[in-house]
Amino acid sequence: MNTLLKHFNTTYNTAPFSKIKTEDYKPAIITLIKDTKKEIDAIANTTDTPTFKNTIEALEYSGQQLNRATSIFFNLNSAETNDEIQKIAQELSPILSEFGNDITLNEALFKRVKTVYDGKDSLTLTTEQHTLLDKKYKSFSRNGANLNEADKLKLRDIDKKLAQLKLQFGENVLAETNKYQMVITNENDLSGLPEGAKEAAKQLAESKDIDGWLITLDYPSYIPFMTYADNRDLREELAKASGSKAFKGDALDNQQNVLDIAKLRYQRAQLLGYKTHAHFVLEERMAETPEKVEAFLNELLEKAKPAAEKEFKNLQEFAKELDGISRLEKWDSAYYSEKLKQKLFDLDDEQLKPYFKLENVIDGVFTIAKKLFGLEFEHITTIDKYHDEVLTYKVTDQKGELVSIFYADFFPRPGKRNGAWMTSYKSQYIENSVNERPHISNVCNFTKPTKSKPSLLTFNEVTTLFHEFGHALHGMLANTTYPSLSGTNVYWDFVELPSQILENWCYEKEALELFATHYETGEVIPMELISKIKDSSTFHEGMQTLRQLSFGLLDMSWHGTNPSAITDVKTHEIEAFKNTELYPDVKQNCMSTAFSHIFQGGYSSGYYSYKWAEVLDADAFNYFKQNGIFNIEIATKFKDNVLSQGGTENPMVLYKRFRGQEPQPEALLKRAGLLPK
């Protein structure tokens, strides 16, 4: 019997990873699609008068086993993939896309949904039910239900192509990341690199039977080399290797994929009656329109650019004075920024890392979650996991009742894509008076332990862990009736608030003293270092802001206009970057071909949301700061009005209920040092 086809008879109903064989996925998912089609047909073809319960709720709760099977499969395709899984993903994606179209283009089903929707004013519904009804109706109307038959066929074709192209894009980026190796045989070429990074490079080489030291494009290898290695030629080689991912005109090249994805998205939007893909996407966002997004990005650009240009000029002068560098290049950025930071603040990551042993940081974020939200985290080994490195936790509330199961997967490996993300293996929802609790996962790529040292995190890795854990809390504390409105199922420009607000605790003495202890001596991080962390927190903030804005503007350039006339990805990118570029362009490099957020993930027309959410998080944390960073009353308001509510109401309504006012952008500009404090 295929394990994926039946109820998971496991503790806490967790995924039985060890019992699932790779060859189980495709037949199981195809069978579950057929089963779900029967459920859908039963809803669509009943002769009963359409009601909220027999149509909207029935649709909401359909296909649960299919949802679980696909979430397991596609999560593994990101965190623990192989050639076989990738092949199955390529085969399944168009089938699932077609199935999605079968639902949204089902005329009998849409007719029933529309009947309930048209009569909504006469129904007695809760706020959450109103939201669900609106969302269900739009899931049809925004996906072609009102199209004629010929256009419905066009839409199906576009969606099938997009599903395959996005997968291919991601596979190419992962293959490029895994393919590159810089083997160093002369130890002098490692000059400047911290001992821990050298040891990790040695260990990595040994694991592959290579003599010498191995540097790869995985962040824990790439970032230290770019930050500390004195050998400028090797930094250049590594930067060009990273920047040219899927931009080499070979079998792994993504240029045509980028052009095809952008053009198909535009054609899809046009077919549905929208001006551009961005107009389609932003209709369901806090920002509402591309015009508002561009105004927001350009307003921040106006504030940040003078600061960024001043910072860049200072960095150029510093590099020239230090090493006679006449022209600062992209591969000099992290290296000289780190040197200047050390000079200005007498602070570098190597001083901080001994205080950020991974296990201590995990305990710290758990302690902060306990102080704020009353959560307890118990490490358990009785549930199945998909890789030995994954840690598993049972999360309970103050009454000892189950809140969530939490998976944590921290280290890079060949089958895992770069970056850090939060995902879910099981949604939270309430059905038949049972509150089904969620199974949440954080996946990261942090510095691995070596033979002589545990995993010691850079401060950037610490903030990344807190960021992803903020998303995890949004998933864990979900408390809504319907799965599609639960947890992180919110407007995309609201989803980063819980993650970004939690990063703020990393800079606070009261929080750092809970977990930042020296891994050898147990000494609490000295006040002097905490002061330096705070003082340096706005270092090069202008340049960092400009960088983020450039990504947002690039995203909008692909999706906020008609891309049909674009024939050259690099030329288009140069034009999009022209108002934010500080460093000389590198002709071999291209960002779009590896910009997975917007071409593979869900951030198309949404990259601006990181900055948008910063406005929210700065304003929200300001509220904590005024009343105490562990103020229970405010933490409870945040949990009750933001973390637990998912997408049940308009996010601005939820935010104002928590904060008592709309967010004020001044808090962000002040925190970033772009306004007088």
- What positions carry a catalytic annotation? 468
Rg (CA), the chain: 25
Q: Read off the DSSP letter of residue 387.
A: S
Please state, in angstroms and as integers, the Cα–Cα distance from residue 636 to each residue in 372, 561, 646, following that order: 8, 42, 15
Residues 220/447, Cβ–Cβ less than 8 Å = yes
Tell me which DSSP letter residue 306 carries: H
Contacts of residue 366, defined as CB under 8 A and 6 or more positions apart, other chains included, come to: 375, 377
> Would you say 538 and 572 are in contact if contact means Cβ atoms under 8 Å apart?
no
DSSP structural state of residue 456: B
Separation between Cα atoms, residue 261 and residue 563, nearest integer Å? 10
CB neighbours (10 Å) of residue 224? 24
Collapse the DSSP code of 488 into the 3-class scheme (helix H, G, I; strand E, B; otherwise coil) and give the result: coil
Task: Kindly state the tokens that stand for 525.
Answer: 């991080």
Angle at which helices 107-118 and 25-45 cross, to 10°:
50
* CB proximity list for 191: less than 8 A, separation 6 or greater: 229, 230, 231
- Please check whether residue 259 is in contact with residue 563, taking contact to mean a CB–CB distance below 8 angstroms: yes
- Give the other-Cβ count within 10 Å of 538's Cβ: 16
Nearest alpha-carbon partner for 66 in 103, 107, 31? 31
Residue for token pair 């309970």:
396
